[in-house]
A and B are shown apart, each in its own frame.
Chain A
């Protein structure tokens, strides 16, 4: 798949580098490559949720591996985005258990409401809707993933409310303090 070249500003902040070093400490010193997936997650989160080729090269440089070793991983795993996506990405689970409880209808409803098709992003760059495979929330269907979180037992009304919350900037995609919730 040819991806049109879109420039991405690369900014490996001190905080991000500290986190990367913490992750690297989880593996033997000569096994830096093992940290690739967790590091890619952190880097992607800090860069508008996508990874340009340049950014992947940067990760290769940090982990002291060949760029192609990063490319092959980024293209294999579905959670890594190779092009810009909306600020809020609704990932609807559409596998059997969710589908029989109305996931497909809810996804159609959301697409219609936002005026886009599955896989597309709204022109203002706010929302992306994608159908994904089983997210492990089968008993709480229909559901979607947004950022690090799941929204479960959804209805059209809840979907409307969620869209409004996103528009009002009330959704924190990577909240860290849920340990004692």
Chain B
């Protein structure tokens, strides 16, 4: 059994309530931090732990904290990013739904470290029932004296509220999230200035993912050094993986970073192998934005080494033969999945979610969706694959926020690894018309047909 740090008490009956959570050792990190540590010591502890942002970018959390402007004397804020919208990712929801007080505890300890007296949890509007769960948990924490004025007689004040979005993927980007929290459209801001200097209401702000904040109590209780012992190299600690797609046991799993992809996929403790024992065709290891991997690059990297669940191992080989750990949205595809249809599906998502601020993304995502749709429905043209490549390369790197990159990468990777499937769609439109959703011709057959022709 893998170790559980975040989900240790997830199955304890009544853990949603303050009494049970407290009985299981909850809120001790707040006591420890406030009574025996200075804010900077908490920041140092998190730095030592090597904890990296769990929202997808993997930026070291302690380092991000150390950038916050404490000198200006302006009010500071901690904002928890619970706008979980990356296709394939549903881990934060699990954490908040089942152990809401863990997040509240993390928010208090982290706010103390940052010297923030007014903090928010920004949750996506669709998670309305989780919003209410958090509201209740916050009420309980106020009643028990963990929030409000003069917490534990220390002189440290903290007000914490939960704020709901209203259905916009882009608000998961930290500056868009801040805009949205200010009651505006979710248009990302140009950086610099970074939120650590000018964030919410132009005041210094740190935005962290739910899972990152939830890891802080354990780090404070057990020391950053202990946390850093878990994992491999610069991928320390445990990570929540949300697994979906054609597997036996979809769901949320907490793993030690460094577990092999093979074991995660096939052991009964985790995913239990492929659904209906069909062959594995492809994997998106870190949410829809990261490059898709074909079967032969999933368990082994291009050099033949074992692929591990770490930030480094999953990205080995760069985008040519690797991918990214991202947010841990682990999507598995079997041989019935049509990569062209799936890529079109992702492109539709990004087109729908683009905020429209930057032309390359606003127009480019529409073009990607349109061209992919035409290929998928049997109206593709021979030059369309090059056209797709051209469009995605003109979006990448040319936008204010990473949504442009996130829209471009899945298309590039699909063409890179499954070009023959695109060609098959274009050359044999009659065979792909009127078939069931997502069911492709068996892959071997596709390969054979294309291999015979000169490209």
Q: Please give the residue numbers on chain A whose beta carbons come within 8 Å of chain B beta carbons, in ascending order.
A: 26-28, 31, 33-38, 40-41, 63, 65, 69, 72-73, 76-80, 94-97, 99-102, 104-105, 132-141, 145, 148-149, 176, 178-180
CB of A133 within 8 A of CB of B16, answer no
Q: Which residues of B contact A140 (CB under 8 A)?
A: 90, 250
A115 to chain B, nearest CB (A): 21
CB pairs A–B below 8 angstroms (10 shown): A31-B182, A69-B183, A73-B185, A95-B87, A95-B345, A96-B349, A136-B93, A138-B87, A138-B88, A141-B244
Q: Which residues of A contact B84 (CB under 8 A)?
A: 136
CB of B132 within 8 A of CB of A176, answer yes
B443 at the interface (CB under 8 A from A): no
Q: Given the complex of chains A and B, what is the CA–CA distance between A134 and B169 in angstroms?
A: 9
CB of B183 within 8 A of CB of A37, answer yes
Query: How many residues on B have C-beta within 8 angstroms of the other chain's C-beta atoms?
Result: 62
Q: Given the complex of chains A and B, what is the CA–CA distance between A28 and B127 in angstroms?
A: 25
B408 at the interface (CB under 8 A from A): no
Q: Which residues of A contact B132 (CB under 8 A)?
A: 148, 176, 178-179
Q: Which residues of A contact B288 (CB under 8 A)?
A: 95-96, 134
From known contacts A37-B180, A95-B349, infer whether A136 and B89 are also in contact, taking CB-CB under 8 Å.
yes
In the complex formed, the residue of A with least CB distance to B250 is A139
CB of B87 within 8 A of CB of A105, answer no
CB of B168 within 8 A of CB of A78, answer yes
Give which listed residue, B128, B252, B331, B353, contacts A97 with CB less than 8 A.
Answer: B331
CB of A41 within 8 A of CB of B166, answer yes
CB of B89 within 8 A of CB of A138, answer yes
Q: Which residues of B contact A36 (CB under 8 A)?
A: 183
B438 at the interface (CB under 8 A from A): yes
Known contacts A73-B166, A94-B345, A180-B17; 12 further A-B pairs (Cβ under 8 A):
A31-B182, A37-B183, A78-B166, A79-B166, A79-B167, A96-B284, A99-B345, A139-B251, A149-B129, A179-B16, A179-B17, A179-B132
CB of A139 within 8 A of CB of B243, answer yes
Interface centre among A72, A96, A140, A178 (most CB of B within 10 A): A96
Q: Which residues of B contact A78 (CB under 8 A)?
A: 166-168
In the complex formed, the residue of A with least CB distance to B438 is A100
CB of B331 within 8 A of CB of A96, answer yes
Q: Given the complex of chains A and B, what is the CA–CA distance between A17 and B10 in angstroms?
A: 37
Q: Given the complex of chains A and B, what is the CA–CA distance between A168 and B389 in angstroms?
A: 52
Stretch from B49-57, B157-165, B379-387, B420-428 that touches the partner: B157-165
CB of B352 within 8 A of CB of A133, answer yes
B22 to chain A, nearest CB (A): 16
Q: Which residues of B contact A101 (CB under 8 A)?
A: 244-246
CB of A77 within 8 A of CB of B17, answer no
From known contacts A31-B182, A77-B165, infer whether A96 and B342 are also in contact, taking CB-CB under 8 Å.
yes
From known contacts A76-B168, A134-B85, A138-B250, infer whether A26 and B184 are also in contact, taking CB-CB under 8 Å.
no
